[in-house]
Chains A and B, each alone.
Chain A
Amino acid sequence: MRSLLASVRFAIVAAAQNFTRNLGVSMAGVFTMGLIMLLVGVTLLLTHTVDQVLARQESQADVINVYLKDSVSMRTIADYEERLRQDPRVAGVSFISKDEAVIIAEQEGEGFMQSAISTVGSNPLPASLKLQARSLQGLTQLNRIVKTYPITDTSTGHQTSYNPNVIPTLQAVIFWTEVVGWSLSALLAVISLVIIMNTIRTAVYIRRTEIEIMKLVGAGDWFVRWPFILEGMFGGILAAAFGTVIVGFTYNFVLEQANAHVFLGVTADGPFLTALIVVLVAVGAGLGGVGSFLGVRRFLHV
């Protein structure tokens, strides 16, 4: 126990000395790796945000709005609503009045609706039935049926909001965003591993006499390794902290700005950001440790 504590203390003190003795090299390594961590963070957050935007679209894709003629009575609409509700392919139906349509449009960022209405003098948006299907296949069939309903507005050319291409396209986009995001992150991780390895090699080179003596008097391999591994882990954590702080602030700022201009339907995802920071710091420590292990290996084989 006593000897273990002494070993741990020796490793920590030696790691701290390593780090500060060649502070220039250490900081250059930390800074470079920090930039890479920044890129990894940006890539992962970007992937996540795109995913979120697309997932929101996808969740809406099994819903169609059936636009209704203005002239149809509420009673008739209620009949058809009931008839749809009986259909086994239907998961839910809700009626959206003309006024509600305006509110929804405004929520989705079309802030000019009110002024448009006052200019035109009447509300141009149609009432609609919001129809949620149980399956995408059912959606296609339902779409065909509701188009033939007499209450459906045929004057504009698109009776419903149905778009047959949207689902496969969305899925492909989500898939490729993830593939590109993750491969880019993996590539960046490998680069930072190489950077850590070289930083530690310099540290090892500076301490080569010490290592030689340690080996000569009979220190074990791990005793020699630990200080460098700790140094690498410390550098990795510092780099990750540096990268994620910048990423975190940028993420919140950019999303705020973006939402002010276009409606993404996505706000800053706090839990995801926290998880990302934790993961990046852990990955930084891991890369630092592994990089040091590899960097030190060559010198240990006396």
Chain B
Amino acid sequence: MSLAAILPPPPAVRPVPGLRPVISFHGVSKTYPNGTQAIRDLDLAIYHGDFCFVVGASGSGKTTLVRLLIREEVATTGRIFIDGQETTRMPRRRLPKLRRKFGIVFQDYKLLPRLTVAQNVAFALRVTRPGQRHLREKVEETLWIVGLEDKLNKFPDELSGGEQQRVAIARALVHRPRIFLADEPTGNLDPDTSWGIVQLLLQINHRGTTVVMATHNREIVDLCRRRVIAIENGRVVRDEAEGAYLREGEATI
């Protein structure tokens, strides 16, 4: 079966003049205290419903970009807007609210080993919305979306890598974020399992959540034909609506 058949079609939403982006960077630079310039004068706009890959070699500035998005790092110069709000000068006390707009997953899952699958997912809600009603239903529903409805009471070390990443995705999803941020989510997984994860992210996108995925995985990027933002030395060198991992005609190794 061809991939095009199993994947949902690319969303119709494309940059439209006058439409306000969900994420936008205006002349953003980030220089670390040790003098490393990770991001240089970067402009970027991501619209609601987008699915985009951020690609680039290690040290290109991908991780800094992700950290700037959730304000784990503060831009040295320039302005960043999330959902219409400028975050660069946002006071510390408003950060929790900003971060609740995001669902974030990492290469290393970051699950709590002492909690079960259901408890790990519920943790995110307990922490951000104490006293949430119908907690159990929400958790079960989210675990059903990621296909782990039969593993509720397992502990993370009883699961495979792919399943652990699905738990992490469920945890990032349970509070219904506006933006789903995945930093190398398939970095530790074999190709088949990686596919499963990416299909899940495409599904999430299809339900209307903006997805940004930083990755090294060339195969996945090439197969999906979605928006590709390539970063090199802290600058956007390529931004294509239906891009590939490498530039057309670029040498492959």
Contacts and interface: CB of A to CB of B under 8 A. Distances in A.
A105 to B, nearest CB: 72
A213 B99 contact: no
B130 A3 contact: yes
A220 B96 CA distance: 5
Interface string B160-177: 000000000001100100
Nearest to A220: B96
B129 interface: yes
Interface stretch (A4-12, A82-90, A193-201): A4-12
B98 A218 contact: yes
Nearest to A224: B127
Contact of B100 (A212, A218, A302): A218
B131 to A, nearest CB: 4
A108 interface: no
Q: Enumerate the 8 nearest inter-chain pairs by beta-carbon distance, A residue then B residue, closest first.
A: A6-B131, A6-B130, A218-B99, A218-B100, A3-B131, A2-B131, A219-B127, A7-B130
A6 B99 contact: no
Given A217-B127, A217-B172, A219-B96, 9 more contacts: A3-B131, A6-B132, A212-B110, A214-B127, A216-B110, A217-B123, A218-B100, A220-B96, A302-B72
Contacts of A7: 130-131
A219 B70 contact: no
A226 to B, nearest CB: 11
A4 B129 CA distance: 10
B31 interface: no
Interface of A: 2-7, 10, 209-210, 212-221, 223, 302
B76 interface: no
B104 interface: yes
Contact of B175 (A4, A214, A217, A223): A217
Interface string B223-236: 00000000000000
Nearest to A3: B131
A221 B100 CA distance: 14
Nearest to B124: A217
Nearest to A13: B126
A209 B112 contact: yes
Interface string B17-41: 0000000000000000000000000
Nearest to B70: A216
Given A5-B131, A217-B99, A217-B171, A10 B70 contact: no
Given A209-B112, A302-B72, A217 B130 contact: no
Given A209-B110, A213-B110, A10 B130 contact: yes
B104 A6 contact: no
B128 interface: yes
Mostly, the A contact residues are: helix
B97 interface: yes
A202 B70 CA distance: 27
Contacts of B110: 209, 212-213, 216
Contacts of A213: 110, 112, 123-124, 127
B228 to A, nearest CB: 26
Given A216-B99, A217-B175, A218-B97, A210 B130 contact: no
Interface in B86-113: 92-93, 95-100, 102, 104, 110, 112
Nearest to A9: B130
A246 to B, nearest CB: 36
8 contacts: A6-B126, A6-B131, A6-B132, A213-B123, A216-B70, A217-B123, A217-B171, A220-B96
A66 B73 CA distance: 85
Contacts of B72: 302
A217 B112 contact: no
Nearest to A5: B131
Contacts of B99: 215-218
A205 to B, nearest CB: 15
A218 B128 contact: yes
B116 to A, nearest CB: 15
Given A215-B99, A218-B96, A302-B72, A210 B112 contact: yes
B175 A3 contact: no
Nearest to A21: B114
A2 B128 CA distance: 13
Contacts of B93: 220-221
A216 B104 contact: yes
Contacts of B96: 218-221
A221 B97 CA distance: 12
A266 B172 CA distance: 68
**Most chain-B Cβ atoms within 10 A of its Cβ — which of A7, A215, A218, A221?**
A218
B131 A217 contact: no
B129 A3 contact: yes
Contacts of A209: 110, 112
